[in-house]
Structure 1
Amino acid sequence: MARFRRKLPPLTGLTAFEAAARLSSFTKAASELGVTQAAVSRQIHLIEEGLGFPLFRRLHRRIELTDKGRALSSSTSAAFTLIAETIDDITREETADGLTISASVAFSHFWLLPKIASFSRACPGVALRIVSQDNNAALDSGDVDLAIRYGNGMWPDGRAELLFDDEVFPVCTPDYAEKLGEHPDLAELVRHPLISYDTEDPSWTGWDEWLAAFSMTLPKRISGMRCSFYTEAIYAALNGQGIVLGWRRLVQNLLDQKALVRVTGQSIATRNGYFVVAPPRSARNERVREFVAWLKAEAQGAVS
């Protein structure tokens, strides 16, 4: 260990080098570290003297990493990031047993929150914080421990595990279903108020796509409420405003309670699925592992 430590430049110098390399400026590095530009320059010069080769090219009014400088910059950046994440993890463990979960408003409201009591009973020492937002929370910010996302599973900020896919079909209240009669066809269906919702997600299924799967075209003029969010659309349907597309994993509780019923037998499978996404640092977090295990067990129960 002593032999290994002798190969390392002083930590002060490495800190100055990492900042200067990341910011491409001795002056900006000095400002970030709260020291003078001359101090940063001196620390980096000492490292270069010890190594026997330059890490930067000093150009007119700018600096540029050498090939060896880029190699060292990559290593120091990765090492400092790992140290920062580890300190963050162990500090969290010492100060709180909290776990922050991000999910869409609809998933939180209709799937996660109705089930969360069983996790709290199993792990009573874990304080949960649920962040509901339709834009994906950035996992590399350190503010979120886990995210539940709908998509294709390919996100650069974490490792994704599939929970389940979904299917989509029209639903309404039992009272409204009486207006449709038994076994209404799709031509009859589109003459009723169709509740829709705004979304910027191209993978989210709307009435146009759903009807197109059955060679139907949405009429140019339709009646029905348009909502900002899927949760609002579901509540509009629950209040008898018409027919909405139900995503089975989200509305299953409402179907079980007979608050909503399926309108037709037709349904389409979604192209994507729901995933739990964990950033690399969460692999060391026991609370995260417990929550993921619980989540996968609940998801398996939902599938079966």
Structure 2
Amino acid sequence: MAEFEQLLPPLATLVPFEAAYRLGSFTRAARELHQSQATVSRRVRELEQNLGVELFKRQRYDVSPTADGELLAASVRLSLSELSATADLIRRRALGNDSITLLTSLSLATATVAPVLGEFQRTHPDVNIRVLASDDLVASTDEDFDLALGYGPNESPQFTVEFIAEEAVFPVCSPTFAARLPSPITPDDLAVLPLLHVDYVDPGWTTWQDVLATSLVGEVGRVKSVVFTSYQVCLDVAERDGGIALGWERSVRSRLDAGTLVRVPDITIPHAGRINAYFPKRTAQNPHAAEFVALLKQVLADDEASTSDLLPSN
């Protein structure tokens, strides 16, 4: 469009500007870009002249952004990130190196993603798959991915969100720990037992406080607990008689099938959360990511009957 040429600053100035902003130094930016310090300084000055404002305060060795520099940097960094990611995707397609990078939570990697990978590879033999398993929140990760799967928000300014499946949550413990529990067990009994918590910052993560608040009559008192930053470690400790953990139905099913964990009966939150797919909005959607989600939905639908066996009948 014609107005681009009139309104956009000189494009050759943007990469040096971003590097100087990020590194706080023309010298360090020049070293990263394999240019001279004078070239970087000249490019930034050209950008400042084009915009009519000062973008950096110059010190002897470093530079610090002005308010206008901060404003421009936010836009430049987002634009360059989107351009580089899209260009990389196009290059990979041009080389015939079709691939998909999948980010998934550790809890879903084994229980939900792994069973689908084999079928996807069978139907897409020429597609390279890279799986990143992490418990970092999708919105805060530094990883570059085509598709993320996890428990999280249903709307996001950064991602196109697609619903995959609902999850139920229920208490689990080792068989030997379960043998020592009163029968029948009540929510009041649970409140005084050793409860294993996962300390997630994700507001969608169901906690023991949520469970007890919906089960107990009256207010929830102080709950004695051991807190973990890893869901998998929390389940490992529960397997070793360490207490009672909250299990998300799909992620805990293999341990229930193996008999290393058992359900504490009669307490279930049936709609505790949603498994969502997250597609980054900043790049064109990788078609293989959409194909993977479609296959995942099909596998979960076929598996729905066995999943429902974990839940008590009404």
TM-score by length of 2: 0.68
| Residues 261-301 of structure 1: per-residue CA shift (max 9 Å, x gap) | 32122222456422110113664423222222222223434
2:312 aligns with none
Kindly provide the CA deviation profile for residues 91-126 of structure 1, in whole angstroms up to 9, marking residues without a partner as x: 223274432211222222443235433333333333
User: Is residue 192–residue 223 contact of structure 2 (8 Å, CA) maintained in 1?
Assistant: no
- Larger mean CA deviation between 182-191 and 155-164 belongs to 182-191
Return the alpha-carbon distance in structure 1 between the equivalents of residues 54 and 267 of structure 2.
68
Secondary structure, counterpart of 1:266 in structure 2: coil
Name the counterpart of 2:100: 99
Aligned pair partner of 2:11 in 15, 32, 48: 15
- Matched with 1:254 is 255
Q: Structure 2: which amino acid aligns with 1:211?
A: L
| Equivalent residue in structure 2 for 1:56, among 48, 51, 54 | 51
Secondary structure of the 2:291 match is: helix
Note closer, same or farther for the CA distance 1:140–1:87 as it changes in structure 2 (3 Å cut). farther
List aligned pairs for 1:153-302, cutoff 5 A. 153-180=154-181, 182-216=183-217, 220=222, 222=224, 225-270=226-271, 272-280=273-281, 283-302=284-303
Name the SS of the counterpart of 2:276 in structure 1.
strand
Q: Percent identity?
A: 27
Bigger Cα displacement from structure 2, 268-277 vs 213-222? 213-222
Counterparts of 1:270 and 1:212 in 2: how far apart (Å)? Answer: 15
Equivalent residue, structure 2, for 1:67: none
Partners of 1:100 and 1:218 in 2: CA distance: 43
Q: Verify the 8 A CA contact 1:161 1:275 in the aligned structure 2.
A: yes
Contact 1:172 1:242 in 2 (8 A): yes
C-alpha distance in 2 between matches for 1:209 and 1:41: 53
Cα offset, 1:61, TM superposition: 8.2
Matches within 5 A, 1:127-166: 127-137=128-138, 143-166=144-167
Aligned residue identity for 1:133: S
CA contact (8 A) 2:150 2:277 kept: yes
Alignment-derived partner of residue 85 in structure 1: 85
Q: Distance in 1 between matches of 2:242 and 2:142?
A: 41
Residue 16 of structure 1: how far off its partner (Å) = 3.0
Change (3 A) 1:227 1:60: closer
Query: How many corresponding residue pairs?
Result: 283
Secondary structure in 2 matching 1:213: helix
Task: Quote the Cα distance in structure 2 between the aligned partners of 1:219 and 1:42.
Answer: 62
Distance 2:52 2:46 in 1: 15
CA-CA distance at 1:43 after TM superposition: 7.4
Q: Is the 8 A contact 2:103 2:145 kept in 1?
A: yes
Q: Matched residues in 2 for 1:111 and 1:202: separation?
A: 22
Question: What letter is aligned with 1:278?
Answer: F
For 1:19 and 1:137, how far apart are their aligned partners in 2? 27
Contact 2:172–2:262, Cα closer than 8 Å, also in 1: yes
Runs of 5+ consecutive residues of structure 2 not aligned to the other structure? 58-65, 306-314
CA–CA separation in structure 2 for the residues paired with 1:177 and 1:276? 35
Deviation at 1:160, TM superposition (A): 0.8
Q: Distance in 1 between matches of 2:153 and 2:264?
A: 29
Q: Which moved more, 1:92-101 or 1:232-241?
A: 92-101
SS of residue matched to 1:202: coil
Distance 1:101 1:60 in 2: 38
The change in CA–CA distance for 1:250 and 1:293 in structure 2 (over 3 A counts) is same
Greater Rg, structure 1 or structure 2?
1
Asked whether the equivalents of residues 158 and 277 of structure 1 are also in contact (C-alpha less than 8 Å), the reply is yes
For the residue of structure 1 that corresponds to 2:52, the secondary structure is strand
Q: From the superposition, tell whether residues 136 and 154 of structure 1 become closer, same or farther in structure 2 (CA, over 3 Å).
A: same
Q: Tell me how large the CA RMSD over aligned residues is.
A: 4.4
Report the Cα offset of residue 42 of structure 1.
9.9
Offset of residue 140 of structure 1 = 9.5
